[in-house]
Amino acid sequence: MSDGFDVCVIGSGAGGGPVAASLAEAGYQVLLLEKGPWYGNDQFVKDEIELCRRNRFVPRVEDDPQVWEIDVGGGRTRVYPPTTALRNGTLVGGANVLMSGFFLRLKPTDFRMRSTYGPVPGADVADWPISYDDLEPYYARVEEEVGVSGLAWDLPPHLKDRRSTEDLPFLPTREHPFADEIDAKCTKMGLHPFPIPRAVLPEQRGDRRGCAYSGYCAQYGCRTGAKGSSLQAWVPRALKTGRCTLRPRASVTRLVTDSTGRLRQAEYRDKHGKVRRVDATIFVVACQAIETARLLLLSRSTRHPNGLGNRNGRVGRHLVASTFGGSFGEFRFRDKPELQSREPFLNRGLQDWYFIDDPRLGGKRKGGTLNFLPLHPNPIARAMGVAFHDRTTGGRPLWGQGLKRRLFEHFHETWHLKCEVFGEWLPDNRARVTLDPKVRDKYGLPVARAATISHPYNRQLAHFLTERGTEVLRGLGAQHAAGVPGGGPSTNLIGGTCRFGNDPETSVLDRDCRSHEVKNLFVTDASFMPSGGAVPFTFTIYANALRVSQAIIAQLGGRKR
């Protein structure tokens, strides 16, 4: 259909946006294909029914489902009906348009998981083929170019970031007054609270306005452009060059190779369902870990009978997530009137259990991060929590006058604090994405089947960290503090299906996220990650995408501009 593109980038989210911007600014012609629609900031309304209950930002399950195989313990799994639960957002800018924007770096030992902690029975733990020092300059670039706000806090050496810049480029956003109490009381408990950096601008920068402090970050787009999503930070830069063509509602269904096995074309359906093909010199896949694996598996050919780049059968394997868990506590306004503040941000976390040496968990192990935040303001979700999960009923639903009384108390007399867990998820060779043998999408193609098999340690860690969070909430004076340990995957954080590494027999991509088999194919979403760390993924995806962009530029012959 269209010739003359140097690079075709598939997916405009955290993995695709930085690549498109970097290559267009380097002088190359870039085609950016995005499955979802293109929304303007004025369309990001705070409508819980439309956006959260009806899931406007994900495809309809009738059109584009996935199949989810969930680990239920004891070596057993349960397959759920076709779902969109593993999709977090299909739109220009990707799912990070709807993120909270917690931007924490991985630590140096996260790149050396096997070397640091040793092999784990039943897990497939691997070192990264790059080090923290390889990625650190790109972390610094992301902070400046995306607009990350916060402070470089004085922490013990093993917890403190090793930085090439003295501080973060933007001052912190305004904070709830309880942040000071977290600092004081946690310090008294012998802990080390710190301000969590946010990809949220506190003030105007160019065309992006500062934060409006509505509290509706997670699950919502940003009307002011303050949140550092790919939609705000990278896609406009790519388009501004005049060398990037963006095609929304372009669903890529296959990557086409020639008789030598080299990748030549991307085949996609346009918004009318018509089949199109596009040529490029280099292709970058960044569709989100599950859909990236699906696309490569769908792209079979004579030279690639098991799917593109899948000679060793590793595409789709080693799906990783973040171990989910959380604790909740409540405070009464009459005891602390300052809690009636409407400031939505606390920006406080703990990493005292990021590294664990505890016999309850088998000694020296990787742990996680605790993040404090007020309960999300969504009123329907909060009311349903009161009605169906109220602490006063022992699990029985509330209704009638009892429900009215508890709703009034919840919304008008108490303030609710959540302690969220980001825990390490040990990779398992059985956790994988395959093509479902029965379920098809609207184009008649097999959908992704994601088996989120969880190593027993993941659940143990979730319980351990949730217990620590509950203890801290009680130390802060919370009433009715209790945990929901979970242990399953956080569906917001999925990666690992195209692991990178130095050995072509055990990995899909090389250290520059280039396919070992197809030298003009790169993968830059979270698929590349051998492990997830114990922090949200987006910051690391951004930084790595910038790093990989330099390898792509070099392969194309260097910068033109």
β-partners of residue 435 are 448
What does the alpha-carbon distance between residue 299 and residue 319 come to, in Å, rounded to a whole number? 20
**Helices 379-389 and 400-412, packing angle to 10 deg:** 130
CA dihedral for 7, 13, 19, 22, sign (positive or negative): positive
| Contact between residue 37 and residue 13 where contact means Cβ atoms under 8 Å apart | no
Place of tokens 């994405």: 433
Q: Where are the domains of the chain?
A: 2-556
pLDDT recorded at residue 394:
75
**Total residue length of the chain:** 561
Give the residue ranges of DSSP H helices in 169-234. Answer: 178-188, 230-233
pTM for this model (two decimals): 0.97
**Cβ neighbourhood burial of 559 (10 Å; 0-12, 13-18, 19+):** middle
Q: Which residues of the chain have pLDDT under 70?
A: 1-3
What per-residue confidence (pLDDT) applies to 1? 40
Q: How far apart are the first and last CA of the chain?
A: 27
Pairing between β-strand 263-269 and β-strand 368-374 as defined by DSSP bridges: unpaired
Q: Find, among 481, 430, 485, 428, the residue nearest to 460 by Cα.
A: 485
- Token digits for 121? 């029975």
Chain centroid, CA 455 distance in Å: 20
Token look-up 């569709």 returns 287
Cα separation, 7 vs 30, in Å, equals 5
Strand-pair category, 479-484 with 320-332: antiparallel
* Phi, psi values for residue 130, rounded to 5°: -125, 165
> Is the CATH code 3.50.50.60 the one for domain 2-556?
yes
pLDDT digits (tens, 9 = 90+) for 179-232: 999 999 999 999 999 999 999 999 999 999 999 999 999 999 999 999 999 999
pLDDT of residue 3: 61
Q: What is the pLDDT of residue 2?
A: 46
Please give the DSSP secondary-structure letter assigned to residue 500: B
Q: Which two tokens stand for residue 294?
A: 């699906």
CA 117, 121, 127 angle in degrees (round to 5)?
40
Q: Could you tell me what percentage of the chain is helix, strand and coil, using 3-state DSSP and rounding each to the nearest 5?
A: 25, 25, 45
Angle at CA 195, nearest 5°, toward 189 and 196?
A: 120
Strand, helix or coil for residue 106: coil
